[in-house]
């Protein structure tokens, strides 16, 4: 799924003074067991869970990923916004494969129109 950091999730939860049950309830997650699995790194949350988790913890969504928050990769920006690759492609009005290639850093670097669309959708400069 990406460089989601279960350790960062756990530290943010503890810093917020929340139990796993509290966090699950506040973030709309089905059970505390899911939170436990995410913290242990057994699984990473689907993109749709990332924004509510971050909001419940009072942190920026990018901070839940093991990346430099000043220069997050495009994939992390997408996940932090709670978007699947399909949703990003639909919002950008471009083929999913184009979005995937751009996200992976393959090709289309010269396509400023596509990059500008993604930048607007993700709320951050990309390129």
Digits of tens for pLDDT over the chain (127 positions)? 458 999 999 999 999 999 999 999 999 999 999 999 999 999 999 999 999 999 999 999 999 999 998 888 889 999 999 999 999 999 999 999 988 888 887 765 557 777 788 888 888 776 5
Q: Among residues 82, 120, 123, 83, which one has the least CA distance to residue 100? A: 83
Please state the pTM of the whole predicted model. Answer: 0.84
Which phi and psi (to 5°) does residue 4 adopt? -60, 140
Q: Among residues 99, 106, 48, which one has the least CA distance to residue 75? A: 99
Q: How far is CA 74 from the centre of its chain?
A: 10
Q: Where are the alpha helices (DSSP H) in the chain?
A: 6-15, 20-27, 32-40, 50-57, 74-80, 85-92, 96-103, 112-122
């Amino acid at each position: 799924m990406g460089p989601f950091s279960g350790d960062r999730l756990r530290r943010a939860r503890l810093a917020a003074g929340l139990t796993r049950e509290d966090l699950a309830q506040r973030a709309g997650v089905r059970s505390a067991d899911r939170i436990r699995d995410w913290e242990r790194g057994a699984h990473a949350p689907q993109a749709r869970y990332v924004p509510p988790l971050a909001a419940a913890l009072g942190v920026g969504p990018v901070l839940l990923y093991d990346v430099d928050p000043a220069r997050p990769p495009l994939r992390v920006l997408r996940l932090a916004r709670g978007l699947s690759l399909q949703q990003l492609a639909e919002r950008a009005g471009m083929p999913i494969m184009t979005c995937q290639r751009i996200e992976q850093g393959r090709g289309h670097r010269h396509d400023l129109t596509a990059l500008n669309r993604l930048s607007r959708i993700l709320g951050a400069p990309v390129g």
